[in-house]
Structure 1
Amino acid sequence: MVGWFEIPVTDMERAKAFYEVVLDITISVHQFGVFRMGWFPNDPEKSGATGSLVQHEMYKPSFTDGPLIYFSCTDVNIPLGRVEGAKGEIMQPKTQIGEGHGFMALIKDTEGNRIALHSQM
């Protein structure tokens, strides 16, 4: 069970713009001392964890290291169609995972992080 996630960024405004376009959401940015955080929206009526973009010298974006976060969506093709326009890269197109497990795609965000998209259709 995931309770919270943090995605490292080097440029908060660039990362915020990328995720807002691709996921069609609004991210609110907050300063906590030396930490700058961009909070993903939280809807208590929906299941799933929320999290934050985090800009701090200890947080290093990576395409190969660290956990892989999957964002759920209605159809992977919808946010996938917005990735390149938001200056990200499609690393793996929509791919069937296996019988009954839906579909996924792998993208690289503007900060160099690998992020996955998941849907049942």
Structure 2
Amino acid sequence: MNNNVATWFELPVTDMQRAKAFYQEVLQASFKDETMSGYQMAIFNADEGSVSGMLILGEQYQPSQTGAVVYFNGGENLSMPLDRAVKQGSSVLVPKTPIHDGECGYFALFSDSEGNRVGLYSPS
């Protein structure tokens, strides 16, 4: 059994193609498309055993800047995905910020193409 606290996430979207294009550019992500019980899903491709999740479009899912925040791996330089997000029309909500003077890494927050507040994390 894996000891990750989080095991799955779902990011609500209102336009699946726009959201996929956004994350493909910002995170260099790829997806597996699925439909289930009337919901459109785009599952982030990840290594087996890794925590992953999906973009989801459906009646019960509404994007929000006030709900839970998902933090994505920002790689070694948060400036790169943040710059790509801004080029895709995103707003940076919190720029690269040290956690405990950088001892615990760095984070940033931005608004995605759907209006969700999303985070990035980097160890350096």
State the Cα distance separating 1:89 from its structure 2 match: 1.4
1:98 and 2:100 correspond = yes
1:10 and 2:10 correspond = no
State the Cα distance separating 1:27 from its structure 2 match: 1.8
Which residue of structure 2 aligns with residue 19 of structure 1?
Answer: 23
- Structure 2, unmatched stretches of 5+, are none
Residue in structure 2 matching 1:115, options 97, 114, 118: 118
Q: Which amino acid aligns with 1:106?
A: L
Report matched runs for 1:1-121 at 5 Å.
1-44=5-48, 48-64=50-66, 66-74=67-75, 75-99=77-101, 100-121=103-124
- Structure 1, unmatched stretches of 5+, are none
The alignment partner of 1:51 has SS state of strand
State the Cα distance separating 1:109 from its structure 2 match: 0.3
Contact 1:17 1:86 in 2 (8 A): no
Identity of aligned residues (%): 39
Length, aligned pairs only: 118
State the Cα distance separating 1:33 from its structure 2 match: 2.9
The TM-score with structure 1 as length reference comes to 0.91
The TM-score with structure 2 as length reference comes to 0.89
Q: Which amino acid aligns with 1:107?
A: F
| Structure 1 residue runs of 4 or more that deviate by more than 2 Å after TM superposition | none
State the Cα distance separating 1:93 from its structure 2 match: 0.9
